[in-house]
Structure 1
Amino acid sequence: MGYRGFDWRVFVRTPQAILAVGLAWCVLRLLVQAVIGWEPVGPDDWTRLLQVRSWLDGQAFQDVTQYRMSPPEGFSMHWSRLVDLPIAALALVFGETIAMALVPLLWLLPALFALRAIMLRLGLSDLAIAFGLVIFPLMPLLPASFAPMRIDHHTPQAVLGLICAALLLSRSQRAAAVAGVCAAAWVLISLEGLPLIAVIAGLYGLRYAWTGERLLAPFLAALAFGSSALGFATRGPSMLAPLYCDELLPGHVTAFVAATVAAALVPLIPGQATPAKRFLALLLVPAFALPAAWLTLGPCLANPMQQLDPVLQTYWHGYITEGLPAWRQPVSVMLMTLWTILIVLAAAWTTRDTWLGAERAIQWRLYFLIALAAGAYSLLLMRAGVIAQLLAIPAAAILLAHYLPRARALASAVPRILATLAVFGLATPMAASALAKPLDSRFPAATMRPDVLALIERGECDYSRLVSLEPGLVLVPLDAGPEILGLTNHTIIAASYHRNQGPMRDVLLAFTGPPAEAQTVVQSYGADYVIACGSAADIALYRTAADGNFANVLLSDTPPEWLELDETFSAGSLRVYRVR
């Protein structure tokens, strides 16, 4: 019992503990944000803001085209309106800046409730639950994910995946159905969620094999119905005649329906007295679902990113670190990814005598399997590390609760301090990542080329200066475009959205090629301005393509004759050119 009757062991199990942790994080992050400023973090955050603005300004709910990119046709976007809904709702009430500040913070609440549910269903101790609620800032990918102004779609999809994992541990058919709806929203936001959704479906199947619990069919039925309903609500009739392979397709829904039918038939197969026989009966599900997917998805079974133009692969996608596998990351990031998996394995080993024969053995097995699957997926796709680190939190809490009291019980100060640091080093990827940081420069990844880094100028480019520049069409590198759109009334030729490979390729060829080729691109699009930021990494990359190419010429003192430097709007690393 604590001071004046307060019992922290009881408190950490209550919803009030979640609210207290969430409130503390909100206050801390808002104070930090007041110092660093209230602008979106990166290009995707700016584009999400543009999408919300367009909707609130009257663009149709089911139309997410960005018409200020490559006008008048605009850029086709694969993003879902589901992510826009909370931002737009708060923007209508409190204004745009407050909405962008609060929405990422609010996503932390369902994440914490899901973590609490996982830890309670595993039967963790009070101390472990307490650690599990507060340790997320020590997971390197999570603080930025739940930070103000970070409004892209990666955090919502990770939270939905975490909720699915928490519901997976419940024995309720209703919970399985809710998990199916969450999985539908997840895959509608991003098709990248499909591999882990397939894993969750497989784990529901294992539950049936192990215990006979019939939860797979409710999950799949809700997934099929939810994906159809949410798809029609957000995309309308276009869902029936899609043009792209990077979104939820009728073929996916067909496969979900086929799997649902098969899952409903599995219990009717006779002779399922043992787990092995029930597992064999479950083979009916992939026997129905895989041919349905093969017949209806066709070429869309392939990864859309494998079909990118070679120019985009060379000068764009190959440098988007969040979309690359672990072996193409800096050493510190690679180790962080591997360490996240190690935390789950260490927790499984530490608690093996406790849970292997326990009443909650099924929940423990399911938790470790989904956490390891997420960790393995993050080895292939870096941005999946967000859900992998969320799912590793209960494992980290187990390690801290098990080893930290032992470390703190050491009598001598030096061993006690070293043991305490070792426990935190084991239980979080942060220490491993920090210790490996010096190796990044000694063994640079392809995304950290020394020749590129050496060309990045010092200083920043203030695109808000362009608000007074007469609106026009701008040729600008891909990453800077969304911020210029967010701060001004200009339009741009292209930004970093892969469906629109033609304009993207033209922009890349313009900057990496000779000035004459850039002039051809400018004339074909009718651009009014050319803008370059010398302190931007993408411009530095373009400069390495060839000596004397357009990117190098723009940053020199002798621009081509068909451009005129506007000294009024140029400042520092920012060069603004008018097309003559």
Structure 2
Amino acid sequence: MTAPAQTITRALPRLDSRIVLWVVIALCVVTMSTPQAVWDTIQHLRVPDTDDAMRLVEVRDLLSGQGWYDNVQSRFLPPAGVLSHWSRLVDAPIAGMILALSPIAGPALAEGLTAALWPLLLFGLYGWVLYRGVRHSFGERAALLAVLVATQTFGVTTQFQPGRVDHHNVQMIALLGLAACMIRGGFRSGLIGGGSAALSLAIGLEGLPSVAVATLYLVGDWCLRGRPARPTLSGFGFGLGAAAPVLFAAQTAPDQWAVPRCDALSPPWLFLASAGLIFVLGATWAGDRLATIRARAALAGLCGAVMLAAFAAAFPACLGGPFPGMPALVRDHWLLTVNEMASVPKLIAGGQWEALAFHPVVALASLTAAWLAWRGLQRRAWTVAALFLWPGLILGVFQFRGLYIASGFVPLVAGAVLDRALTQAEESGTGARRWGFALLGGSMVSTLWMAPALLGEVLLPASRTAPDPGGAAACQSDTALRPLAALPPGTILAPIFLGPSILLRTPHSVVAAPYHRAISGLEAAIEGLGGTEADLDRVLTALRIRYLVACPARPADDLQAEPAFATRLARGAAESARLAPVALPGPLKVWRVTR
């Protein structure tokens, strides 16, 4: 190199790797969603899932003057309606954004802008919690790498895509915050963590297994270490025990305070939170008098046994899970057909190769966190990460929804592992160790797993026997439902998955939607659309149906050997004297009930 060139090189400012990472993160955030998806959300209120549509229906009702404590969806199974178990704590900020944007953009565009911006704002909050938590244990570069990996983790990005106004993203943030507080330790962190756990439970009980595991860890830590672990346990107990009743009262009508609900924060779960608070008060009062592991374990075991026995005696229905008393017909022909309830064997049998972008990274992160916790390096951080990953992974083998929360912890593990690979390179570590960590961290990036997923689609196209999601999406679109909205309002019998979109995009009422609190509507849709002509006639008469709607791309399950009458009707292979076809553009088939 010539002397002038050397001078120029020395004069150039050294580019900070942190700046490079921030720039790459910004680019990845901008490209997390396609411009078309953002535009469709803003202009046509495109939403990814039925739950997102139902959330917007609830928000609209709230903005239209429905009471804060009135969670009855009156157009769902009229005339009585259906009492929703969803939280107003998620409805409120979405409604606030729509109100703030309406004077500027108008009500319709304000809804679209909110549906697009709300998930992006939540991803910013998730990234901040992730960054703060990883930086505390592993340093700033690891934290930046974790945020970068988050933008490439499908289990994360699917929860923050445009239109994703459901509650799973808020729960992911709350439980990640709980984990960060557990790792940091201390009374203040425990208090914030307990409040985060209470927020997660108030929003929905999907996070209950994670909260239970976190509680067991903190109690076990106190049993083993005594005084050093007591502040975190005390803070967590006070935070959960105090915040849970407050949040419950804030979103539940007073006349419902004594009603036990197994699927939402209510007396059964408040009982456990209060019992935990009493245990924490006892442990705090006892202080150093419980000087041995045996004494502390005895107190914890006795209190736990009494608490669980009392719970089983007082609320036996909740021992069977959140769906007590669900009929076999509904379980087999609705619940077990929903994608979030699908097991790994079912996904593989159906040729749904996209599962490769979700399960392997959670499995690798779980194994890595457990391995590094066993090795003893940053043991508390790795142990807590493993505690939140493993339950999700195990549940995810049997039900896909188990990955919802666990996926949020994959970037934490991947960021720390990739940082360790870079540290090995800087310290001239052995090539095997350096490249081993690099390969391990890279294998936790979901986008890399798209290659085998796409390969499976190309090489084994005939293996896909699962229903085509494109057909269902077309039937739920604004384009498909706008003509239906022009018809005089009435009650519609339609496929279960169409219910929320009909409520969102039309003035009509529906019989069925994918929610377990409306069992009679689910039974009516399954029997009417999957049964014989007599079954359909019985449902049409009993529920005073005005319109029958079918999505030919997604027919109902046949309840007998021959195709269901409604399916043959949609194919043009059958007719009914009491159903008059309504000619509408688009993929939907519509009939008016004449008598």
Q: Structure 1 length as normaliser, TM-score? A: 0.86
- The reply to whether residue 519 of structure 1 matches residue 537 of structure 2 is yes
- Give the distance between the partners of 1:28 and 1:251, measured in 2 at CA: 40
C-alpha contact 2:260 2:267 (8 A) present in aligned 1: no
- The reply to whether residue 40 of structure 1 matches residue 47 of structure 2 is yes
Identify which of 460, 469, 484 aligns with 2:502. 484
Identify which of 548, 553, 556 aligns with 2:569. 553
Deviations 1:65-94 (A, max 9, x none): 111111121122111111111111100011
C-alpha contact 2:528 2:539 (8 A) present in aligned 1: yes
Classify 1:554/1:419 alpha carbon distance in 2 versus 1 (closer, same or farther; 3 Å): same
Q: How does 1:85-484 map to 2 (within 5 A)?
A: 85-94=92-101, 95-122=110-137, 124-212=138-226, 213-214=229-230, 215-242=232-259, 244-266=261-283, 268=286, 272-273=290-291, 275=293, 278-305=296-323, 307-330=325-348, 332=353, 336-349=358-371, 356=376, 360-403=378-421, 422=439, 426-432=443-449, 434-435=451-452, 449=465, 462-484=480-502
Classify 1:377/1:216 alpha carbon distance in 2 versus 1 (closer, same or farther; 3 Å): farther
- The reply to whether residue 57 of structure 1 matches residue 64 of structure 2 is yes
Counterpart secondary structure, 1:304: coil
C-alpha contact 1:101 1:148 (8 A) present in aligned 2: yes
Counterpart secondary structure, 2:184: coil
C-alpha contact 2:341 2:400 (8 A) present in aligned 1: yes
Amino acid paired to 2:126 = A
- Give the distance between the partners of 2:343 and 2:140, measured in 1 at CA: 37
Counterpart secondary structure, 2:496: coil
C-alpha contact 1:263 1:284 (8 A) present in aligned 2: no
- Give the distance between the partners of 1:149 and 1:504, measured in 2 at CA: 26
Unaligned segments of structure 2, at least 5 residues: 1-9, 102-109
Give the drift of 1:3. 6.8
Count of residues in correspondence between the two structures: 557
- Give the distance between the partners of 1:202 and 1:261, measured in 2 at CA: 15
- Give the distance between the partners of 1:399 and 1:83, measured in 2 at CA: 34
Give the drift of 1:277. 5.1
C-alpha contact 2:207 2:405 (8 A) present in aligned 1: no
- Give the distance between the partners of 1:106 and 1:522, measured in 2 at CA: 44
- Give the distance between the partners of 1:207 and 1:10, measured in 2 at CA: 39
- Give the distance between the partners of 1:30 and 1:81, measured in 2 at CA: 30
Classify 1:552/1:179 alpha carbon distance in 2 versus 1 (closer, same or farther; 3 Å): same
Give the drift of 1:152. 1.1
2:106 match = none
2:104 match = none
Q: How many percent of aligned residue pairs carry the same amino acid?
A: 24
Deviations 1:502-555 (A, max 9, x none): 1210111000111222112112221111111112x3x25459863252222232
Counterpart secondary structure, 1:530: strand
Counterpart secondary structure, 2:527: helix
Classify 1:277/1:444 alpha carbon distance in 2 versus 1 (closer, same or farther; 3 Å): farther
- Give the distance between the partners of 1:196 and 1:540, measured in 2 at CA: 35
Classify 1:184/1:443 alpha carbon distance in 2 versus 1 (closer, same or farther; 3 Å): farther
Deviations 1:250-292 (A, max 9, x none): 1221222122212222352776445565444432441342123
Deviations 1:283-331 (A, max 9, x none): 2441342123223222222113353112211221111121344443337
Deviations 1:12-35 (A, max 9, x none): 7xxxx69x9479625753734245
Give the drift of 1:430. 4.4
Classify 1:403/1:543 alpha carbon distance in 2 versus 1 (closer, same or farther; 3 Å): farther
- Give the distance between the partners of 1:30 and 1:439, measured in 2 at CA: 24
Amino acid paired to 2:301 = L
Counterpart secondary structure, 1:141: helix
Classify 1:316/1:444 alpha carbon distance in 2 versus 1 (closer, same or farther; 3 Å): farther
- Give the distance between the partners of 1:499 and 1:348, measured in 2 at CA: 39
C-alpha contact 2:527 2:535 (8 A) present in aligned 1: yes
2:5 match = none
C-alpha contact 2:41 2:162 (8 A) present in aligned 1: no
C-alpha contact 1:40 1:149 (8 A) present in aligned 2: yes
Unaligned segments of structure 1, at least 5 residues: none
Give the drift of 1:48. 0.5
2:82 match = 75
Deviations 1:329-370 (A, max 9, x none): 3374665425412223235536865xx1x6x53333333333
Amino acid paired to 2:183 = L
Amino acid paired to 2:79 = P
1:29 match = 33
Give the drift of 1:474. 1.2
C-alpha contact 1:254 1:292 (8 A) present in aligned 2: no
- Give the distance between the partners of 1:313 and 1:219, measured in 2 at CA: 37
- Give the distance between the partners of 1:385 and 1:226, measured in 2 at CA: 26
Q: Structure 2 length as normaliser, TM-score? A: 0.84
2:107 match = none
Which is worse superposed, 370-379 or 498-507?
370-379
Amino acid paired to 1:136 = A
Amino acid paired to 2:590 = V
C-alpha contact 1:347 1:398 (8 A) present in aligned 2: no
- Give the distance between the partners of 2:328 and 2:474, measured in 1 at CA: 32
Which is worse superposed, 295-304 or 389-398?
295-304
Which is worse superposed, 380-389 or 97-106?
380-389
Which is worse superposed, 518-527 or 125-134?
125-134
RMSD of aligned Cα (Å): 3.6
Amino acid paired to 1:513 = G
C-alpha contact 1:105 1:146 (8 A) present in aligned 2: yes
Give the drift of 1:376. 3.1
C-alpha contact 1:185 1:230 (8 A) present in aligned 2: yes
Counterpart secondary structure, 1:578: strand
Classify 1:334/1:482 alpha carbon distance in 2 versus 1 (closer, same or farther; 3 Å): closer
Classify 1:22/1:60 alpha carbon distance in 2 versus 1 (closer, same or farther; 3 Å): farther
Give the drift of 1:201. 1.0
